[in-house]
Chains A and B, each alone.
Chain A
Amino acid sequence: MTANLDDTFGVIMNRMLTTGHAPHYVEIAAELEISPDEGRAALHELFAAGISGWLFPDTDYIASFAPFSNLPSQYRITIDGQQGWFGQCGFESLAVSWLTPGQLVTIDAPCLDCGDPIHIEMRDGTVIGTEPAGLVGHVTVPFRKWGSQLPFA
C-alpha cells in the first residue's frame, strides 16, 4: 500500500500545528493505517517531492517543515497565548498565522546583529504590531538558489 502525498503532508502539518513537534514515521504510519516501513517510505517520498522542509541529514527525523522548525530556532512562535512552536526561519514565521484563523500569533526573536528583541504580532496574515517599528527581513541567497541551499538561505 502506498501513502498519498497529500495525506502524509496533512498528518505532519496537523501534528506540528497542534503540538509544535513533528511525528516519527511510525506515528505517521499509524495515522495513515499503513505499516511502519510504508510510513518511512511515505516520509522520504514526501520530502523528495520538493516541499519546503528537510530531514536531519542521514536520518528519518524531520528537522524542518515549513512554516515550522522541529528544532529550536531563534524564532519563537506563540499562538493564542501559548508559546510552543519555532519558526523555520524569520520569513516563514510570518506565514504561521495563515494556519490559525482568527488567532493572535506572536513572533519573538533576537536581532542577530545586537541581540535586542524583535516582537511581531499578526492575525490572519496581517501584521498588527511590531516592536520596534521599521523591522526588515534579509536573505543572503538569491531565490533561484534556495532549492539547493534552503537551510542556509
Chain B
Amino acid sequence: MNLFRSEEHTRRWSQFDPASVEGILPLDTLAELFSVDHFTRRLEPDYVSTGLHADSLLAALRDLATTLPFWSPDPP
C-alpha cells in the first residue's frame, strides 16, 4: 500500500501489476476511507473488544466496491 506522485508514476513503477489498476485511488478518496471508526477510534479503551470497529471499514469498502470491485471485502 504505497503512495505515488501521480497515477502515471504508479503505472510506470517497475512492480506495477496491470491487474491491480483498480487499486489506484486519489489521495482524498484514501483519506476518506481511512477516516472510518476502524481508524479513528484506536485510542478508545474498548477498541479491541468492540471488534476493532471492523464493520465501519467493511461498509466503506462495500460502498467503494460498487464502482471498483477490486475493493470488495466479500468473496467473488
Interface, chain A (partner B; CB < 8 A):
5-6, 9-10, 13, 17, 46, 49-52, 66-67, 75, 89-95, 98-99, 107, 109, 111-114, 116, 118, 120, 122, 125-127, 130, 132, 134-144, 153
Alpha-carbon distance between A93 and B39 when the two chains are bound, in angstroms: 11
Contact-residue bracket for chain B? 35 or more
Tell whether, in the assembled complex, residue B47 and residue A90 are in contact, meaning their CB atoms are under 8 Å apart: no
Alpha-carbon distance between A13 and B43 when the two chains are bound, in angstroms: 8
Q: Is B59 an interface residue (CB 8 A)?
A: no
CB-based A-B contact count at 8 angstroms: 152
Q: How far is the CB of B63 from chain A (nearest CB, A)?
A: 12
Alpha-carbon distance between A6 and B6 when the two chains are bound, in angstroms: 39
Alpha-carbon distance between A94 and B29 when the two chains are bound, in angstroms: 11
* Highest count of chain A CB atoms <10 Å: which of B9, B14, B47: B9
Tell whether, in the assembled complex, residue B48 and residue A9 are in contact, meaning their CB atoms are under 8 Å apart: yes
Tell whether, in the assembled complex, residue A112 and residue B48 are in contact, meaning their CB atoms are under 8 Å apart: no
Near A by CB (< 8 A), chain B positions 6-29 give 6-7, 9-10, 12-17, 20, 23-28
Tell whether, in the assembled complex, residue A132 and residue B5 are in contact, meaning their CB atoms are under 8 Å apart: yes
Q: How far is the CB of A114 from chain B (nearest CB, A)?
A: 6
**Nearest 4 pairs between A and B by C-beta?**
A90-B3, A89-B1, A95-B39, A113-B9
Which B residue sits closest to A130, measured CB to CB?
B27
Q: Which single member of A125, A130, A144 contacts B72 (CB below 8 Å)?
A: A144
On chain B, the residues within 8 Å of A13 by CB distance are 42-43
Given contacts A94-B27, A111-B9, A125-B35, 5 further A-B contacts (CB under 8 A): A89-B1, A95-B34, A95-B42, A98-B39, A118-B5
Alpha-carbon distance between A116 and B49 when the two chains are bound, in angstroms: 42
On chain A, the residues within 8 Å of B28 by CB distance are 127
Known: A92-B34, A136-B27, A143-B61. A112 touches B4 (CB 8 A): yes
Known: A10-B45, A98-B42. A135 touches B72 (CB 8 A): no
Tell whether, in the assembled complex, residue A137 and residue B25 are in contact, meaning their CB atoms are under 8 Å apart: yes
On chain B, the residues within 8 Å of A127 by CB distance are 27-28, 31
Q: How far is the CB of B30 from chain A (nearest CB, A)?
A: 5
